[in-house]
Structure 1
């Protein structure tokens, strides 16, 4: 597994146990990290497999393609999820966690690993383009400008935060800003309560 993919997988696992308790001190936070929502029993899935997602996503984003996802080594993972990642380039990739048995998507993530130097702005712009494309895939009624504004708002609110989540209707957006170690943007389904139930 190459370094970028390994770092990305590490962030995916880390997100699985990220703390939402911003008030806790760092040592306490490390010792009392609650489970990420998509790992909870009965957490919802998107009604599609990763193969179905790729086919539809690539068809509408010919300039922002995502290659086939490959299962990652998850020894010691007791979450009963299948984790997979797709390398986009040396510092950008997508990762996912799939429900075992159905293969349906629990979370979809884009992670950017900063590359200091003259290429950093172009690399960041490409990462943001993928994040916007992912947003528009799940919210196709948003214009490019609205998607850009939503992403800017989420990244601003999540800046410097190890875990920031915001629900928008049936979707949960997650930002994990680890500074020089990388930025992860995720979209997950939210279980909606039924009226009268």
Structure 2
């Protein structure tokens, strides 16, 4: 019976169904816990989640956060994936040809992990899931890549999930900024740190 099942599966190209192991699920839970801890730390140190706006340069892989006053935060990023809240579908960055290859390497790590751990959601181009699931995908990707954080930016009904490097804070005053989690630029003539930044470490 198994022989016929395998035979027909090969004919119709139907992939063998896999189920993530308990070890894989534990990894996901741990990654999510670590991500939340990072978010709390960043919120306290550089106002993560309090930004008034954001903009991203897909060619340079640079994202800029706008805060109140004259403060901005700049960092490198990579695309994890995009979650469409309207149809509840998460599309992986590794499957998006419109995204430069240089911004997909972290997502590729997640795909490779999914293959090793037999987790189908990490190997499928698009996944029907909840927002919480999308956060879990992002958390795992961050952990695998050793990224400094995860950011979710909204564009209409879509949410872009990204890994980020350490944030460079461009302000005239260092008040309430911790140098352990963000670098401070006090040079008022350099309004955009990215212009003088060397190649990112990723």
TM-score by length of 1: 0.27
More relative contact order, 1 or 2 (CA 8 Å, 6+ apart): 2
TM-score by length of 2: 0.27
